[in-house]
Amino acid sequence: MSESEAAEGDSRPRGREVWIEKYRPQTLDDVFGQEHIVERLESYIAKDDLPHLLFAGPAGVGKTTCATAIAKEVYGDEWRENFLELNASDERGIDVVRDRIKNFARVSFGGFDYRVIFLDEADALTSDAQSALRRTMEQFSNNTRFILSCNYSSQIIDPIQSRCAVFRFAPLSDDAVEDQIRAIAANEGIEVTDDGVDALVYAAAGDMRKAINGLQAASTTGDTVDEEAVYAITSTARPETVQEMVRKALDGDFTAARSQLDTLITEEGIAGGDIIDQLHRSVWEFGLADREAVRVMDRIGEADYRITVGANEQVQLEALLASLALEPEE
């Protein structure tokens, strides 16, 4: 979990159990929406032939969940003693990681052939640190299995990738997120309207952690979770507002588009980067003519790049709207 996600956790209601943990699947069978991955993992366990694994994919899609579920299935009640979870970006460098790995790998527990080390955010390690990790993996390969987790497998050096079975976790489907949201709401006795479910699914964009946190936070604001509560609590712009803003710009009305953007950023507190992400996700659903959609997409790419290299988000979004307004369609 990244720092921002931990911070997001801070806004969760206090004094109540955290639902992402309460509803974390305990077995591979219970993991939603990653059927192909689960099938292959189960077959390794059935054959008692677990290789090193590399899990790549976005946040909140089940990478850590699958790693702990593997440990629970392999070790049963003794899984905690045989499973070490480390966060590559938490530690003060590869030396600390290596020491902890060595201390853990040296000892066996409960008569099992190997212990499992789960290294989250492995892509936070520099190439040099990854080379050192690769040597450590080799040194302990007879009694340790590594599960590495990262956002992008391209950030992991080839010699590590080639030692692992690589699994690419996709964002969860809307159906998978909806099923879990409805199941949790029913179990917690919470009323969620259909538009509330749709809003949670939209705001989550395939991230189950975000969907469940959104549901829990929204459930504390009133008796019923509806779209209004969800959009407010998840700091997500309504898709129709984003669409309207783009439409105004394309029609040449920059002032109106800019004022809508201003409302989103200053009044609703939505981050510029999140608006870009929403634009990117939804532009094909705006019903724009192909030429318009392509033009918007081109400008999104430019703004996204500039924001990534450090430019001011609001300035870039305004420049995006301005450039759409400059060339109104005939």
Cα torsion through 62, 71, 22, 235, rounded to 10 = -30
For position 206 contacting ligand ATP by CB under 6 A, the verdict is no
Closest approach, Cβ 192 to ligand ATP, in A, equals 17
Neighbouring C-beta atoms of residue 274, cutoff 10 Å? 18
Closest approach, Cβ 315 to ligand ATP, in A, equals 30
For position 171 contacting ligand ATP by CB under 6 A, the verdict is no
Rounded Cα distance, 208 and 288, in Å: 30
User: 1-29 burial by CB neighbour count: b if 16+ within 10 A, else e?
Assistant: beeeeeebeeeeeeeeeebbeebbbeebe
Q: What are residue 149's DSSP bridge partners?
A: 55
Interface with ligand ATP by CB under 6 A: which range of 23-31, 107-115, 130-138, 192-200?
Answer: 23-31
Rounded Cα distance, 73 and 45, in Å: 8
- Contact residues for 312 (Cβ-Cβ < 8 A; gap 6+): none
Q: Which of 82, 130, 180, 260 binds ligand ATP (CB under 6 A)?
A: 180
Q: In the complex with ligand ATP, which residue's Cβ is closer, 86 or 297?
A: 86
Residues within the annotated binding site?
A: 57-64
Angle between helices 254-262 and 313-326 (to 10 degrees): 160
Interface with ligand ATP by CB under 6 A: which range of 20-28, 99-107, 276-284, 292-300?
Answer: 20-28
Q: In the complex with ligand ATP, which residue's Cβ is closer, 220 or 312?
A: 220
Interface with ligand ATP by CB under 6 A: which range of 78-86, 160-168, 205-213, 275-283?
Answer: 205-213
Closest approach, Cβ 172 to ligand ATP, in A, equals 6
Q: Pattern of binders to ligand ATP over 29-68, x per CB under 6 A?
A: --xxxx------------------------xxxxxxx---
**For residue 60, is it left (φ>0), alpha (ψ between -120 and 50) or beta?**
left
Q: In the complex with ligand ATP, which residue's Cβ is closer, 172 or 300?
A: 172
For position 209 contacting ligand ATP by CB under 6 A, the verdict is yes
β pairing state of 224-225 and 144-150: unpaired
For position 72 contacting ligand ATP by CB under 6 A, the verdict is no
Q: Pattern of binders to ligand ATP over 126-165, x per CB under 6 A?
A: -----------------------x----------------
Please answer whether residues 62 and 171 qualify as being in contact, where contact means their C-beta atoms are separated by less than 8 angstroms.
Answer: no
Q: In the complex with ligand ATP, which residue's Cβ is closer, 32 or 140?
A: 32
Neighbouring C-beta atoms of residue 267, cutoff 10 Å? 8
Encoded tokens for 137: 């993996």
Interface with ligand ATP (CB under 6 A): 1, 5, 20-21, 23-25, 31-34, 59-65, 120, 149, 172, 180, 208-209, 212
